[in-house]
Amino acid sequence: MGRVGIVLISHSTKIVEGIKELIREVIADVPIELAGGTEEGEIGTSIDKIVNAIKTADEGKGVVLFYDIGSAKMNAEIAIEMDEKSTTKIVDAPLVEGSYVAAVESGMGKNLLEVYEAVKKSF
């Protein structure tokens, strides 16, 4: 079975691209999907992008979501409500460090709850 997936949500495409780059330096085999910016690539967040990112990141072990400010979390919540699956968890943690910790934990083969708890405990 696969790894717990990670979705990075930010108002800016560059922020999430940068974080993914940072994590990929150390972790290669954990799914990381990006939902940065609006549909038009402008500053903002998009529910559709988040929904698609969750779908792609899910290898069957669930997905953790990290977000930056304001509408990012609200849109993450709507995306999860629309999905109706409970295998996605929003993590209230700093976007960069939080997702980094999650990637390391997921890379060790931890399950969704373990990854979630490990991140929560770190902050």
Partner 1 sequence: MEIKVEDAIKWFEKINEKIKLNKEYLTSLDQVIGDSDHGINMARGFEEVVNKLSAKEYGTVSEVLKDAAMTLMSKVGGASGPLFGTAFLRFSTAVKVKESVDFETFTLGLESALEGVKHRGKSTAGEKTMIDVWSPVVDFFKRENDFQPDELLYESRTAMENTKEIMATKGRASYFKENSIGHIDPGAASSYYIFEALAEVLQEGEK
Ligand X SMILES: Nc1ncnc2c1ncn2[C@@H]1O[C@H](COP(=O)(O)OP(=O)(O)O)[C@@H](O)[C@H]1O
Q: Which chain residues interact with partner 1 by CB under 8 A?
A: 38-39, 42-48, 69-71, 74-75, 77-78
Q: How far is the CB of 76 from ligand X (least distance, A)?
A: 14
> Per this entry, what is the length of the chain?
123
Residues 26-65 that bind ligand X (CB under 6 A): none
113 binds, among ligand X, partner 1, none (CB under 5 to 8 A by kind): none
Q: Tell me the backbone φ, ψ of residue 25, rounded to 5 degrees.
A: -60, -30
Can residue 70 be called a binding residue for ligand X (CB under 6 A)? yes
In the bound complex, which residue of the shown chain has the CB atom lying closest to ligand X?
Answer: 70
77 binds, among ligand X, partner 1, none (CB under 5 to 8 A by kind): partner 1
Catalytic residue among 11, 49, 61, 110: 11
Three-state DSSP string of the chain = CCCCEEEEEECCHHHHHHHHHHHHCCCCCCCEEEEECCCCCCCCCCHHHHHHHHHHHCCCCCEEEEECCCHHHHHHHHHHHHHCCCCEEECCCCHHHHHHHHHHHHHCCCCHHHHHHHHHHHC
55 has catalytic annotation = no
Residue (45 or 106) nearer to ligand X, CB? 45
Choosing from 12, 71, 111, 122, the residue that interacts with ligand X (CB under 6 A) is 71
Q: What residue type is 61 in one-letter code? A: K
* Active site positions, annotated: 11
